[in-house]
Chains A and B, each alone.
Chain A
Amino acid sequence: MIGPILEARELVKRFGELEAVKGVSFTIERGESFGFLGPNGAGKTSTMRMISAVSRPSSGSLTILGLDPSTHGPEIRGRIGVVPQEDTLELELSVRQNLEMFGRYFDLPHAILRERASELLEFAQLSERANDKVDDLSGGMKRRLTIARALINRPELLILDEPTTGLDPQARHLLWERLYRLKREGVTQIITTHYMDEAEQLCDRLVVMDHGSIVAEGPPRELIARHSTREVVELRFGTDSHEELHDRLAPFAQRIEVLPDRILLYVDEGDDTLREIHEVGIVPMSALVRRSSLEDVFLRLTGRTLVD
């Protein structure tokens, strides 16, 4: 198929008075890993549900796999895989039964499903738990099973809503490795996440959403270059006189941010800046020079205030 795998134009989702998604547009190419970042309530999940051909947009146009979800919903859903934010496994069924039953919803024959379930159990490292009830699995295992389940129909497009929230580092890294493998096999991925390192690791391109709108779009490194400086100097003084320090430090940085416990200087060459500060007699209690991260971009764009 020629053309993008997904195209959204001015998508809006309203729930009564509340406008959860306020006209977002984006295009996702085949084979791409595309990320949605944003604080809670930014409209990510509502967007995910629309592009999974589950909930209908209130207005705007949407094309998935070249098809219109309002008329070809079942056909589209038959070709995509969805990993929801919360595990929705069948607690009354075994691990293997969960995979096989889910495959039946796609009209796949039993013989093929037995084979695919075995493959996917291997892929999710759950072969040994195949006959256990889902209720007895750990959080990480349930998550892996949910991802394996989403692959039962060999989807061309995989939509993952916060795939690693609540997992320990080992489980996260195992999942990332699995997602790389799928990417190499050519599966297009759409991922929402709260973890900036995850977005940097997994996404070729991403958008940052805030209050229902897209506020930035691009590859992770490009977003950092565009919205932040190359490096960040973090200074701690152990005093409360940050306001006064702000005025003295501001000339040394492109942007300065004063937090309750530390001062951040956004600069291109952190070590140079640190030397210049020392030369004018400002001596912090501790100083750290680090590269700018996606987290800096995220906080800059969406603010530091808690959303909910």
Chain B
Amino acid sequence: MLARTLPRFGSRRSLHIFERNFMVYRSQWLMLVSGFFEPLFYLLSIGIGLNHLVGNLHFDGRVVSYATFVAPGMLATSAMNGAVIDSIFNTFFRLKISHAYDAVLSTPLDVIDVALGEVWWALARATAYAASFIVCMVALGDSGSVWVVLCWPAAILTSLTFSCVGLAACTYIRSWQDFDLVALAQLPLFLFSATFFPISLYPAWLGAIVSFSPLYQSAALLRGVALGQFEWIMIMRVAYLLALALVALALATRRFRRILVP
């Protein structure tokens, strides 16, 4: 029964897409390594820099240093940016410029294998980058508690959601000019998702709108985990991110099918 339903959700051939990406990026190792410096840039600039100005703040009835408060938000942002850039730019190139997927689809792979393969790749990258981010957090003393290790799976979940969303979004992109729209969506998401200040600073109505932002859900989840403050609402946050990932992946596959095998 399982064997019969499995092909609909892709096959293990999707791993060949992972293999392909690995082969391409092996020759661009500098780009891969640069990803490991990103957390340092975030933590040193916003963490250390603003920490001097802001000092400590009250958050959920606790006093934490600003650096400790902001680090999980930066991790969420970094996970979002990495996933979006990878899935939107690179996938767009293969989908509509080099037509590399057209060639792949003349082999035993199916459309769903292509989409899933890209997600595996995004997750593998996210796993490595999130680990290095968390190591930096701990090294700089920005970890709120030992629970910070749980930021790892939470950051990977964030990457999953945003890479699926990016995969779906890239199918609507017509030319390189449309990437301005991506930036236009990404910036307010970053600025208004309460990644570097508490959502309680917003008036209630704005806070309610912001709570729909997947970046806010991710940042809140990561922050709660990092500070060791576990609440039932975290399950909702995880469910929200997972649901968004699945809906986006289903949409992406549908769109891929329409573009690649009309």
A interface with B by C-beta (< 8 Å) = 15, 49, 52, 54-56, 73-75, 77-78, 82, 84, 86, 88-93, 97, 101-102, 104-107, 149, 153
B108 contact set on A, CB distance < 8 A: 73-75, 77-78, 105-107
Query: Is A54 a contact of B107 with CB atoms below 8 Å?
Result: no
Q: Name the CB-closest residue of A to B108.
A: A74
Query: Is B19 a contact of A101 with CB atoms below 8 Å?
Result: yes
Which of B106, B107, B110 has a CB less than 8 Å from the CB of A84? B106
Does B262 sit at the interface, judged by CB under 8 A? yes
A91 to B99, CA, bound (A): 10
A104 contact set on B, CB distance < 8 A: 16, 19-20
Query: Is B100 a contact of A54 with CB atoms below 8 Å?
Result: no
- Which positions 69-112 of chain B face chain A at CB distance < 8 Å? 98-100, 102-110
Query: Is B262 a contact of A55 with CB atoms below 8 Å?
Result: yes
A107 to B78, CA, bound (A): 35
**Measured between C-beta atoms, what is the minimum distance from A91 to chain B in Å?**
5
B106 contact set on A, CB distance < 8 A: 52, 54, 77, 82, 84
Q: Name the CB-closest residue of B to A106.
A: B107
A77 contact set on B, CB distance < 8 A: 106-108
Given A90-B98, A101-B20, A107-B108: 11 more A-B contacts, CB < 8 Å: A56-B261, A75-B108, A77-B108, A78-B107, A82-B106, A88-B100, A89-B98, A92-B27, A93-B24, A102-B107, A105-B108
Does B58 sit at the interface, judged by CB under 8 A? no
Query: Is B99 a contact of A88 with CB atoms below 8 Å?
Result: yes
Which of A15, A73, A105 has a CB less than 8 Å from the CB of B104? A105
Does B23 sit at the interface, judged by CB under 8 A? yes
A-B interface, 5 closest residue pairs, ranked by CB to CB distance from nearest = A105-B107, A74-B108, A88-B103, A82-B106, A88-B99
Which of A54, A102, A149 has a CB less than 8 Å from the CB of B105? A54
**Measured between C-beta atoms, what is the minimum distance from A150 to chain B in Å?**
8
A/B pair count, beta carbons within 8 Å: 68
B interface with A by C-beta (< 8 Å) = 11, 13, 16, 19-20, 23-24, 27-28, 98-100, 102-110, 261-262
A149 to B23, CA, bound (A): 17
Which of B16, B27, B102, B110 has a CB less than 8 Å from the CB of A88? B102
* A105-B16, A106-B108, A107-B108 known; A84-B24 Cβ under 8 A: no
A49 contact set on B, CB distance < 8 A: 261
21 A-B pairs within 8 Å (CB atoms) are namely A49-B261, A52-B106, A54-B105, A54-B106, A55-B262, A74-B108, A77-B108, A88-B102, A89-B98, A89-B103, A90-B100, A97-B23, A101-B19, A102-B107, A104-B20, A105-B13, A105-B16, A105-B104, A105-B109, A107-B16, A149-B103
B109 contact set on A, CB distance < 8 A: 74, 105
**Measured between C-beta atoms, what is the minimum distance from A266 to chain B in Å?**
41
A260 to B102, CA, bound (A): 43
A74 contact set on B, CB distance < 8 A: 11, 13, 108-110
**Measured between C-beta atoms, what is the minimum distance from A45 to chain B in Å?**
11
A54 to B108, CA, bound (A): 10
Q: Name the CB-closest residue of A to B12.
A: A107
A49 to B109, CA, bound (A): 15
Query: Is B261 a contact of A86 with CB atoms below 8 Å?
Result: no
Which of B11, B16, B24, B110 has a CB less than 8 Å from the CB of A90? B24
A165 to B183, CA, bound (A): 40
In this complex, the member of B20, B100, B108 whose beta carbon has the largest number of chain A beta carbons within 10 angstroms is: B108
A48 to B127, CA, bound (A): 41
B20 contact set on A, CB distance < 8 A: 90, 101, 104
Q: Name the CB-closest residue of B to A56.
A: B261
Query: Is B23 a contact of A93 with CB atoms below 8 Å?
Result: yes
Q: Name the CB-closest residue of A to B94.
A: A90
A169 to B261, CA, bound (A): 33
B107 contact set on A, CB distance < 8 A: 77-78, 102, 105-106, 153
